[in-house]
Amino acid sequence: MSEADSHAIHTELDAIAEALAKGKRKRVRKLLRAMHPGKVASVLEALDPEQRQAAWQQVDDNTEEQVLRHLDGLMAAALQRDPQDDDLADDLDEDDEPGATTQIARVRDALEAGKFKRVGKAFKQMHPAKAAGLLEALPPDERSSVWDMLDAERAGKILVHLHEEVRARLALEMDEDELAAAAQKLDLDDLVDLIQDLPAGNGRQLLQAMDVRKRQQLLSMLSYPEDSAGGLMNTDHLSVRADVRVGSVLRYLRLLEDLPDHTDKVMVVDRKNRYQGVLRLSRLVTSPPEAQVGEVMDGEFKAIDVSLSSSEVARRFEDLDILSAAVVDDNDVLLGRITVDDVMDIIREDSERAMMNMAGLNDEADMFAPVLTSARRRAVWLGINLVTAFLAAWVIGLFQGTLEQIVALAVLMPIVASMGGIAGSQTLTLVIRGLALGQVEGGNARLLLGKELGIGFLNGLLWAAVVAALAILWFKSWQIGAIIAAAILLNLLCAALSGLLIPLLLRKLGIDPALAGSVILTTVTDVIGFLAFLGLATLFLL
């Protein structure tokens, strides 16, 4: 070994030892990646046993065998000796059982023990969707440690299944070359989603890293709104003309190495690429080879307009039970297609968004988002809730004298508000679901209102009688029983009315009913409940 090589090894050795001492595993990994396998082996030999094992955990799997060939046999065997290597991958393939150590705990235990190669190998054997779910369940530091162990191809497959917030954060942790390599493995529609999730500068860099043809396709897809059919579509479709024979189409398909995912039909176009219909593969393989495509195609199958909203696209797929559909512009020119996997993502995201919105959490998909970010998001709705709480408290304050004279009212008052809140939330949930599915509009809203008022009236009579009987037995007062019965009936009718009208009004104002509906409804039912109960008590008991 030359003096220059010896000096270089000592310099790199010092840098690796310093990074290991500070726990900077990513720095160690980068240093080792930049070295020749022989030099990596020399550095490992110079480290003490504990440092050697920690550094070995950061060696790429792709260069692992080459490094081992440069090491002494005993040292190589010691580095490879980990009897639990295969156990973790097997454990993570099994479903958790009650009382057993969870998959998340097993991954965290392995990371805490410094077994990064074990975790990396296990994640490489897992289905990408499952790996994404486990990554999202890990705290940021541990998530980054696992992410560093994955190669570009595997990272690209996992990126597709991550929530937007987590996907963008992990993508930003990758070097520009690593991110570009991972992005090459993504379908165009998934790549569009990734670019949109990244900050503008990073997205532009990723776009520039693509070849000219792919970049033009991406720019075309990025020109459409994210929540439109154009933003969902992919350009990997098969198209033929109507005057071609079935036998020629079959020969053309055989020449292809592979068909695009979820291909159940071939798009039929004219010479100007205008959409004519579809030729289903099931019809293609059963038709005579001499028949023309125009004779066996389905010309009634409608394409999707490129400007159609993503929610309308999802509804059409659900109603028609289809796997794919063509996307066309205003002139019926075929632009691409949308497949069922993209629609399922939209349905899942809308469902999660609605659930989070009802708690005022907006799109907080990352459980381990920074504290300040999460606190800022939640503070807005806590503030709104505080305002509504003060409004309810103000109404109660109007009847302070009544409450001081009849203490029983303070005991029974929460029952009225609670019954109204539950009844209103039932109607609100039903109406929000109907709006999402396009089942509620001006034409049938009055009929639905009549039905909900009827339900509110019947339930109001039933539970008013029950609560009145309990109040009479408790406080030995017929007047209090009658007043709380009347208040409950009034509040349940008001809850039914509010549960229907609030989401319709919010929708008309362009506000998501799932986001603001529950807050407004709770305020209305609390105020009406307190006002009815305490107002009636003031009129008839004082």
What secondary structure does DSSP assign to 340-384, as a single string? HHHHHHHHHHHHHHHHHHHTT-TT---TT--HHHHHHHHHHHHHH
What band does 308 get if pLDDT is binned at 50, 70 and 90?
Answer: very high
Q: What is the DSSP string of 482-511?
A: HHHHHHHHHHHHHHHHHHHHHHHHHHHTT-
pLDDT exceeds 50 at position 84: no
For 267, counting Cβ atoms within 10 Å of its Cβ (0-12 exposed, 13-18 middle, 19+ buried), the class is buried
Beta carbons within 10 angstroms of residue 185's beta carbon:
16
DSSP string, 441-459: -HHHHHHHHHHHHHHHHHH
Please list, in sequence order, all residues whose beta carbon lies within 8 angstroms of the beta carbon of residue 249, skipping any fewer than 6 positions away: 240, 266, 279, 284, 293
Least confident of 72-81, 304-313, 323-332, 464-473: 72-81
Could you give the angle at the alpha carbon of 303 between the alpha carbons of 299 and 309, nearest 5°? 160
Q: What is the pLDDT of residue 381?
A: 67
Indicate if the pLDDT at residue 298 is higher than 70: yes
The pLDDT of residue 101: 47
pLDDT of residue 366: 62
Confidence check: pLDDT of 327 > 90: yes
Nearest to 61 by CA among 132, 123, 121: 121
Q: Are strands 334-339 and 324-328 parallel, antiparallel or unpaired?
A: antiparallel
pLDDT grade, residue 6 (50/70/90)? low
| pLDDT at residue 9, rounded to an integer | 61
* pLDDT tens-digit readout, 166-199: 888 888 888 888 888 888 877 787 888 888 878 8
- Does residue 96 carry a pLDDT above 70? no
What pLDDT is recorded for position 187? 78
pLDDT of 360? 56
More confident residue, 167 or 377: 167
pLDDT given at position 244: 93
Q: How confident is the model at residue 305 (pLDDT cuts 50, 70, 90)?
A: very high
Backbone angles phi, psi at 76, to 5 degrees: -60, -40
The model's confidence at residue 362, banded by pLDDT at 50, 70 and 90, is: low
Choice between 300 and 383, residue whose per-residue pLDDT is larger: 300
Least confident of 11-15, 165-169, 258-262, 272-276: 11-15
Mean pLDDT over 104-133 rounds to 81
Question: With 70 as the cut, is the pLDDT of residue 432 above it?
Answer: yes
Q: What is the mean pLDDT of residues 525-536?
A: 91
**242-253: burial string, b at 16+ Cβ within 10 Å, e else:** beebbeebeeeb
Q: What percent of the chain shows pLDDT beyond 90?
A: 26
Q: What is the structure's pLDDT at 446? A: 84
pLDDT(390) > 90: no
In 3D space, the residue among 379, 508, 436, 417 whose CA is nearest the CA of residue 428 turns out to be 436
Sign of CA dihedral 149, 151, 154, 156: positive
Give the per-residue pLDDT at 358.
57
* E strand or H helix that includes residue 209: none
Mode of pairing for the β-strands spanning 265-269 and 239-241? parallel
In the three-class reduction of DSSP (H, G, I as helix; E, B as strand; rest coil), residue 335 is classed as strand
Query: Residue 159, Cβ neighbours under 10 Å: how many?
Result: 26
Average pLDDT for residues 462-488, to the nearest whole number? 92
pLDDT in tens, 56-66: 777 776 777 78
Highest mean pLDDT among 71-80, 258-267, 455-464: 455-464
Residues 6+ apart with CB under 8 A from 485: 464, 465, 467, 468
- In this predicted structure, the answer to whether residue 510 has a pLDDT above a threshold of 90 is no
Average pLDDT in the chain: 82
pLDDT higher than 70, residue 523: yes
In this predicted structure, what is the pLDDT of residue 100?
39
Lowest mean pLDDT among 64-73, 294-303, 320-329: 64-73
| pTM score of the predicted model | 0.63
Q: Count CB atoms within 10 A of the CB of residue 173.
A: 14
pLDDT at 291 over 90: yes
How far is the C-alpha of 118 from the C-alpha of 339, rounded, in Å?
36
> How far is the C-alpha of 125 from the C-alpha of 7, rounded, in Å?
40
From 70-74, 225-229, 398-402, the region with the lowest mean pLDDT = 70-74
Q: Would you say residue 234 has pLDDT above 50?
A: yes
Q: Does 21 have pLDDT greater than 80?
A: no
Residue 365 pLDDT more than 60? no
pLDDT for 3: 53
The Cα 150–Cα 281 span in angstroms is 38
Quote the tokens at residue 198. Answer: 């990244």
Q: In the predicted model, what is the mean pLDDT of residues 386-401?
A: 85
Angle at 442 between CA 436 and CA 443, to 5 degrees: 110
Q: Identify the pLDDT of residue 99.
A: 41
Q: At residue 484, does pLDDT exceed 90?
A: yes
The residue-averaged pLDDT of 516-522 equals 83
Determine contact, residues 523/388, Cβ cutoff 8 Å.
yes
pLDDT at 70: 79
pLDDT in tens, 434-459: 887 677 776 688 888 889 999 999 99
Q: Residue 490 — very low, low, confident or very high, per pLDDT cuts 50/70/90?
A: very high
Buried b or exposed e, range 196-220, using 16+ CB within 10 angstroms: ebbeeebbeebbebbeeebeebbeb
Q: What is the mean pLDDT of residues 161-170?
A: 82
